[in-house]
Amino acid sequence: MLIIGELINASRKAIAAAIEAQDAEAIAQVARDQANAGADFIDVNAGIFPGREAGYLKWLVETVQAATDRPCAIDSPDPAAIEAALAIHRGTALINSISLEKERWDNLLPIVSGTDLKVIALCMSDAGMPETVDDRLKIADALVNGLVKNGVPVENIYVDPLVQPMSVNNSFGMNFLNAVEAIMAHFAGIHTACGLSNISYGLPVRKLLNRTFMAMAIAKGLDGAIVNPLDREMMAAITAAEALAGRDNYCMRYLKAYRAGRLQPPAA
């Protein structure tokens, strides 16, 4: 499972404050904590600062890369901001994200084309949010075929089928899960990834819903997640679900996590 640490996101008050104060040490600490907790990529998002987003994203990339050896997931809907951050990123970044929305597609495709960048392909088009499994598969088909045709190896593509709130429509949970299954079955070598927090929007005990949904998605083949790696219960649920899904030979990673004390609450 590819773990993308979500905490350096300006929608969080402490992060917005650290960005505005240019407090590199505060950002570095959150980057190091996530890396130590098992994040493969560190997501950076400055989307709440229109006009200043590109400059702040660059600073976040520099700050994260000075603090850890992990690459960044550059999280923005703005192709120009992504391009600016990418220009100073060392190593192989993950672009979060391209979509079928024309502006985004037209401007990001030349940036990822023929590179070894990883890319999240969001199941979104100018027609709006997909609802059914079929809506998502059609968009995924256009995204994956278009990317592969333009020299992006299928192994570098993570399709995000887009999680929507369970509180809005009783079908949204299973539609997402069945889309993961269909996408993984339809394209050999493809990956899927998502953020989870939307599933529990408007409901109490959100972390319970989020980690239960994560386990269900892993059973359908989900192999990438934008999560809080400091959430021990979420990380333990991921480790358990991967073992139970047969994606952990001899349960080696499960046993290793157990021996490292990561599967149970810290001893009192």
Interaction of residue 139 with ligand THG, rule CB under 6 A: no
Residues β-bridged to residue 122: 99, 160
Interaction of residue 81 with ligand THG, rule CB under 6 A: no
Interaction of residue 161 with ligand THG, rule CB under 6 A: no
Interaction of residue 8 with ligand THG, rule CB under 6 A: no
Which C-beta is closer to ligand THG: that of 60 or that of 122? 122
Grouping H, G, I as helix, E, B as strand and the rest as coil, residue 44 is: strand
Applying CB under 6 A, which part among 32-40, 50-58, 223-231, 249-257 lies near ligand THG? 223-231
Interaction of residue 97 with ligand THG, rule CB under 6 A: yes
Which C-beta is closer to ligand THG: that of 97 or that of 178? 97
Rounded to a whole number of angstroms, the CA Rg of the chain reads 18
Q: How far is CA 153 from CA 30, 46, 116, 150, in A?
A: 31, 28, 8, 9
Q: 127 CB contacts (<8 Å, ≥6 apart)? A: none
Structure tokens at 12: 């969080």
Interaction of residue 96 with ligand THG, rule CB under 6 A: yes
Cβ(143)–Cβ(123) below 8 Å: yes
Interaction of residue 53 with ligand THG, rule CB under 6 A: no
Among 1, 2, 3, 6, binds ligand THG (CB under 6 A): 6
Q: How far is CA 240 from CA 78, 237, 267, in A?
A: 36, 5, 20
CB of 255 to ligand THG, least distance (A): 26
Which C-beta is closer to ligand THG: that of 62 or that of 231? 231
Q: How far is CA 99 from CA 20, 78, 84, 108, 223, in A?
A: 29, 11, 19, 9, 19
Interaction of residue 12 with ligand THG, rule CB under 6 A: yes
CB of 138 to ligand THG, least distance (A): 19
The amino acid sitting at 207 is K
Q: Return the number of other C-beta atoms located less than 10 Å from residue 78's C-beta.
A: 18
Q: Measured in Å, how far apart are the chain's first and last C-alpha atoms?
A: 30
CB of 13 to ligand THG, least distance (A): 8
Interaction of residue 248 with ligand THG, rule CB under 6 A: no
The helix (H) or strand (E) run that includes residue 96 is: strand 94-99
Residue nearest to ligand THG (CB): 195
Applying CB under 6 A, which part among 4-12, 85-93, 140-148, 241-249 lies near ligand THG? 4-12
Cβ(154)–Cβ(189) below 8 Å: yes
Interaction of residue 156 with ligand THG, rule CB under 6 A: no
Cβ(226)–Cβ(255) below 8 Å: no
Applying CB under 6 A, which part among 76-84, 130-138, 224-232, 235-243 lies near ligand THG? 224-232
Residues 106-135 vs ligand THG: string with x where CB under 6 A?
Answer: --------------x-x-------------
**What is d(CA 205, CA 63) in angstroms, rounded to the nearest whole number?**
33
Binding site for ligand THG (CB under 6 A): 6, 9, 12, 75, 96-97, 120, 122, 160, 163, 194-195, 197, 226, 228, 231
